[in-house]
Amino acid sequence: MFDELSIQFSAVHINMLFLLGLALFGGTIGGRLFQKFKIPQVVGYISIGIILGRTGIHIVSLRTIENLQPFNYFALGLIGFMIGGELKTKIFVKYGKQFLTILLFEGLTAFLIVTALAGVAGMAFFPPNAAWALALLLGAIASATAPAATTDVLWEYKTKGPLTTTILGIVALDDGLALMLFALATSIAGSLTGQSVEGGMLILTPMYEILGAIVIGGVSGFVLSKLLRYYSEEDRVLAFAIGTVLFVLGVSLVLTLDMLLAAMTLGAVVTNAAPRKSQDVFKIVGRVTPPIYVLFFVLVGAKLNVNNMPAYMILLALLYLLGRTGGKMVGAYLGAKFSHAPRPVRLYLPLCLFSQAGVAIGLSILAGQRFAGDVGNTIVLIVTATTFIVQIIGPPFVKLAVQKAGEVGLNITEDDLIATLKVADIMDRAVPTIPEDMPLHQITQTFSEHNNLYFPVVNQDNTLAGIITVDTIKNTLMHSELNQFLVAIDVMETIPATAHPNTPMENVKALLKQYKLEYLPIVTDENTLEGFLEARAIDRLISRKFLELQAEAL
């Protein structure tokens, strides 16, 4: 059925803008539908991509995906930049030894198990030397962990805690280990298959890619952090941040460096060189990333092609999948245990390292080019097929792990907290009021008996009539010679804005800013006074709630 549909679609010219709109709209709908079933939205994005792409109805062709490769680089760069923003120096000082131990255990264990399984099974289908060359290359690729889908789940569920910190640290460092293992595996595989391979270059190349990426990202991050000190306008900050990310990606591409690592380094340097200013930078960049992430993951799904795999390749893919998954789980547990990681890390980190994407696919393509023939083709198809599976099952396991660890919903900003509140949640219901016929001397006495700075004026039906402030009283007492004859209705001020108990606090903050107010009366639909809000009280309450949530995450 899919083949017939693909023929029909291929006969119709579909322009790039239409495809991007379809991918963005379809991906967003898919993500929302999966969210309804308590499944991370990234699975929905990838699933829509699979349906639209090479495995499905071929609306998004391989040529389209190749034409959009610069966009994929940009999306991956933003993901790396945002991950780098979480890598604060104090975290590496505190957890550096733990990260390194876990990284070596989970990466090397996956490498050894996949190599052993693929080597033994491969001898049934390939000559011994070719079988073990294939096994070594698959083992090296198995050590890589994709950060994109994993971190998307962490950001979606706003997680924070030791497990989240460890996940971010591991996925940030995994690229380096995978490149080194791949260099070693390529050298040995070349000897096994009789190819002429310069061992020195194979060791120097990954070192160059890693160190070069760190230098480019570090220098660019230092320059960006200096620039940001002179600008506070959001549009300029966004332009500088996005521009620097693009610059780093472009230089990395020209110099054949690890782009993801360079972008991570950029984010890490910015967050450590300008701790306060960087909070605004990452918040502003985070606002524009959702549609970019949706398109990126739809294209990831569209690129996967697992049609028409022979039986022996399916068997090898299954062994690769089981060996990689088991190796990651066992290695992560042992690494966490030997490094004395907190209990949530030991128990749940093994569920968080399944995802495999860009780096693994990229290394498989390199292997396919360097070892042309059956070995290279087998590696590309196995990695593609297993990526299809782990990109679907990986995010739900990450979600399960952070839920079990109790870290969901702890990484929120004050803006996130405000978005969850309504006026009724924090308004003062016992605010003292002033009748509109109260004499001035009684008003001054009321002020002296309370700490409030603003008093609503009401009539006999408790309907809001106006407001009297401390400044109102001062000005009246200083300039009026008829003070003994004045009542509340004579001195009160009109109220430019009010709110309803069900008004979202986001709207209240906007009203206070729009009218430059320090207070806001809360009234019913009939204008009956229900309560009162003071800006200073709002800030105190929200700060207290925010600190309580931060304390829970520690």
The Cα–Cα gap between 427 and 521 comes to 9
287: nearest Cα among 238, 230, 231: 238
Residue of 509 and 222 predicted with greater confidence: 222
pLDDT at 353 over 50: yes
Three-state DSSP at 356 gives coil
pLDDT at 444 over 60: yes
The Cα–Cα gap between 137 and 193 comes to 12
Using DSSP bridges, classify how beta strands 464-469 and 519-523 pair: parallel, antiparallel or unpaired: unpaired
What pLDDT shows up at residue 10? 44
User: Global pTM?
Assistant: 0.64
Please list the residues that pair with 487 across neighbouring strands.
439
The Cα–Cα gap between 109 and 114 comes to 8
pLDDT at 314 over 80: yes
Q: For the packed helices 374-404 and 147-156, what is the interaxial angle rounded to 10 degrees?
A: 20
- C-alpha distances in angstroms, 122 versus 109, 141, 320, 326? 19, 16, 11, 19
Residue given tokens 């995450």 in the structure block: 553
pLDDT tens profile 390-417: 877 888 888 889 888 888 877 766 666 6
pLDDT at 2 over 70: no
The Cα–Cα gap between 413 and 117 comes to 46
The CATH number that domain 85-287+311-411 falls under is: 1.20.1530.20
Query: In the chain, which segments carry CATH 3.10.580.10?
Result: 418-553
Burial class of residue 100 (count of CB atoms within 10 Å of its CB; 0-12, 13-18, 19+)? middle
What pLDDT shows up at residue 536? 76
The Cα–Cα gap between 103 and 109 comes to 10
pLDDT at 456 over 80: yes
pLDDT tens profile 123-155: 888 888 888 888 898 898 888 887 777 888 887
Q: In the predicted model, what is the mean pLDDT of residues 118-126?
A: 87
Instruction: Give me the amino acid identity at 398.
Output: V
Residue 160: CB atoms within 10 A of its CB come to 22
What pLDDT shows up at residue 388? 73
What pLDDT shows up at residue 12? 42
pLDDT tens profile 217-271: 999 999 998 888 887 788 888 899 999 999 999 998 898 887 877 888 898 889 8
42 Cβ contact list (under 8 Å, min separation 6) = 31, 149, 152, 153, 156, 293, 297, 395
The Cα–Cα gap between 41 and 396 comes to 10
pLDDT tens profile 459-477: 888 888 888 887 777 777 6
- Percentage with pLDDT > 70 across the chain: 86
Q: Are 357 and 387 in contact (CB under 8 A)?
A: yes
Instruction: Sheet containing 434-435: give its strands across.
Output: 434-435, 454-458, 464-469
When mean pLDDT is compared across 55-59, 61-65, 87-91, 495-499, the lowest value belongs to 87-91
pLDDT at 354 over 80: yes
What pLDDT shows up at residue 113? 92
Q: In the predicted model, what is the mean pLDDT of residues 289-310?
A: 77
**For the chain, what is the radius of gyration of the CA atoms?**
30
pLDDT at 5 over 60: no
Q: Are 278 and 85 in contact (CB under 8 A)?
A: yes
Query: In the chain, which segments carry CATH 1.20.1530.20?
Result: 85-287+311-411
pLDDT at 199 over 70: no
What pLDDT shows up at residue 11? 37
Across the chain, mean pLDDT equals 80
> Would you state the CATH architecture of domain 418-553?
Roll (3.10)
pLDDT tens profile 26-46: 888 887 887 777 666 767 777
pLDDT at 512 over 50: yes
Instruction: Give me the amino acid identity at 400.
Output: L
pLDDT at 334 over 90: yes
pLDDT at 3 over 80: no
